[in-house]
Structure 1
Amino acid sequence: MRRIWDPPGRSHVKIDIKANVSTNLFAVTAGLKQKDLVSKMVQKFLASDFVVMLFHYDGIVDKWKDFEWSDQVVHVSAINQSKWWFAKRFLHPDIVADYGYIFLWDEDLGVENFHPDKYVSIIKREGLEVSQPALDPKESEVHHQITVRRRSEVHRRTYKAAGSGEGCDDNSTAPPCTGWIEMMAPVFSRAAWRCVWYMIQSDLVHAWGLDIQLGYCAQGDRTKNVGVVDAEYIVHYNRPTLGGSLEENTEVSSQAMDHRVGVRRRSFRELREFRKRWRAAVERDECWNDPYK
């Protein structure tokens, strides 16, 4: 970012970008109720020379100015919109082409044990085009066994899914057993993001169903190029506030609860619609050869 009175090439943002080395982008949906968690994330990513964008879904921007880092990040505000709605409109592949990796995260994540620069070095070395940090099972809300942290640096599949109903075994070759990550903290390479962005539907704001198809953007074999990083892990607190009350108090009103029910209901409808569109596209495209059929 540059001030309107600065000459070309001079920036007031203190980011040391070495010549011929692409920096990375961290974008996070942010509501005021989660500002403490978001602030911890932003500070870590800024310290690792990331460019940071905040997507404000509650329309509140000025109250973030209390943080010293506020003028170092890009603020985008649109009331009651989702992370994928923002990403489709403000993270076009041509616009973010200078960034090596795109981190597109939710706000309810703990990063005490996460180091962005170390994470990037691992996924570069492992060749992961689509990835996510593992979840600390002691503190996190875990929805899929493959995201649970293991005693390794990286894992790409899961064999046991106790209580999750996933039924993964040695013969399982499809998501969510392998070639799969969750959507709360995805990380995409530049090439993978160009593919993923085109799969995001402008009118389907929650992107349910997209996670199953991310392997098609892995720039090769999804069982090798999609994975979960155990060495750099996070906590998923599962504190959704999108669709809730915009009031400052911490109590959830009945109206806010109704909005969240509506968010979930629409998400399921969009999941069905996304699957329907995918099947229709496959049927229409005579040149389509599904590598994972």
Structure 2
Amino acid sequence: MEPLLGSPEIKGYQKPSKSLLAIPVGIKQKYLVDKVVTKFLSANSTVMLFHYDGIVDKWSDLQWSHNVIHVTAINQTKWWFAKRFLHPDIVSEYNYIFLWDEDLEVENFHPIRYLEIVKREGLEISQPALDSAKSQVHHKITVRRRKGDVHRRFYKLNGGGRCFGNSTGPPCTGWVEMMAPVFSRVAWRCVWHMIQNDLIYAWGLDYKLGYCAQGDRSLNVGVVDSEYIVHRGIPSLGGLDENKVPHGLKISKEKDRYAVRLRSYAELQIFNKRWQKAVADDECWTDQYLEQNKTSNG
């Protein structure tokens, strides 16, 4: 946000901060969001809240509420908001874009230290590691390692997982999950163009992020271990877990988590088909990961 009065050249004028946190929020997760936003504001970050439940006024009792940007649209997803309100030209002031979910705990995360590591390691796309003891984990590469600041690969351990020493593609190498990605300015410009206007869940996008890494994804995409988070995995869209819906019970689509899952899978198929068509139609396209993808998919 900019000051209403005065000139940008006056003494004491502060330029916009160089990192942006954008996060979808619902009033039910107010406590968690408060912890996250407080940490980022203390690090002089700009914060934008996407209110998917339409409730804005009930956040006004928090001290920082008037210092963040509030955007509201009922029942929309993080990627819907990002496509419409985080155009690369609009957020070009920021060196890094944190596009996070709301169900994250940040007791062991510090934005300034995180960015110091990202800059030192040359990570264009990254995410904080997950505390495996408390987090919902979908891919082993996101789990925190006890040694070092960063890891970029995951190897099969003790018979678990599906990644081996010769694995070169996601989610074994150069890959982050979509709950807490962090993008450099140039990487975000690329990713934003990949996000489809009519696909709201962005399934399949995580496997293509490496093309936005500004070079070798195995070097420029990584997971930061020393600054880590807890991913609680709270479902915020749909309302019901499909595993808990009694057989034969009819529920409105707005309240049915199963319907959310079905649309997500459908969007994955659409996204992949569009990618394949774009590749086929572009005579100038060179797939730097083609051989690696064949190996990984084989």
Give TM-score scaled by structure 2 length.
0.89
Quickly say closer, same or farther: Cα 1:129–1:2, change in 2 above 3 A: closer
The one of 227, 234, 244 equivalent to 1:232 is: 227
Residue identity in the other structure for 2:207: I
Aligned position for 1:7: 6
CA distance 1:266–1:161, shift in 2 (3 Å) = farther
Aligned length: 279
Q: Is the 8 A contact 1:145 1:161 kept in 2?
A: no
1:183 maps to 178
* Counterpart position of 2:246: none
Q: Could you tell me which residue of structure 1 aligns to residue 201 of structure 2?
A: 206
1:274 and 2:271 matched = yes
Q: Which residue of 1 aligns with 2:294?
A: none
* 1:131 has 2:123 as partner: no
Alignment match of 2:164 (pick from 169, 177, 183): 169
**Quick one: distance in 2 between partners of 1:233 and 1:144?**
15
Counterpart of 2:31? 36
| 1:154 correspondence with 2:130 | no
CA positional deviation for 1:10: 9.2
Which residue of 61, 82, 99 corresponds with 1:104? 99
Cα separation, 2, equivalents of 1:239 and 1:197: 25
Alignment of 1:238-249 (within 5 A): 238-244=233-239
For residues 169 and 15 of structure 1, do their structure 2 counterparts lie closer, same or farther at Cα, with a shift above 3 Å needed?
farther
Does the residue aligned with 2:176 lie in a helix, a strand or coil?
coil
Taking the aligned partners of 1:69 and 1:156, their CA distance within structure 2 comes to 35
Cα–Cα, structure 1 residues 65 and 88, in superposed 2: closer, same or farther, change >3 Å? same
Residue ranges of structure 2 left out of the alignment (5+ in a row): 241-250, 291-298
Shift of 1:2: 4.0
Question: What is residue 20 of structure 2 aligned with on the other side?
Answer: 25
Where does structure 1 lack aligned partners over 5 or more consecutive residues? 246-253
Contact 1:158 1:178 in 2 (8 A): yes
Deviation at 1:9, TM superposition (A): 3.1
1:167 positional shift: 1.4
Mapped partners of 1:10, 1:66: distance in 2: 33
- Structure 1 residue 62: Cα displacement: 0.5
* TM-score, scaled to structure 1: 0.90
Displacement after TM superposition at 1:178 (Å): 0.5
Name the SS of the counterpart of 2:273 in structure 1.
Answer: helix
After superposition, the CA RMSD in angstroms is 2.2
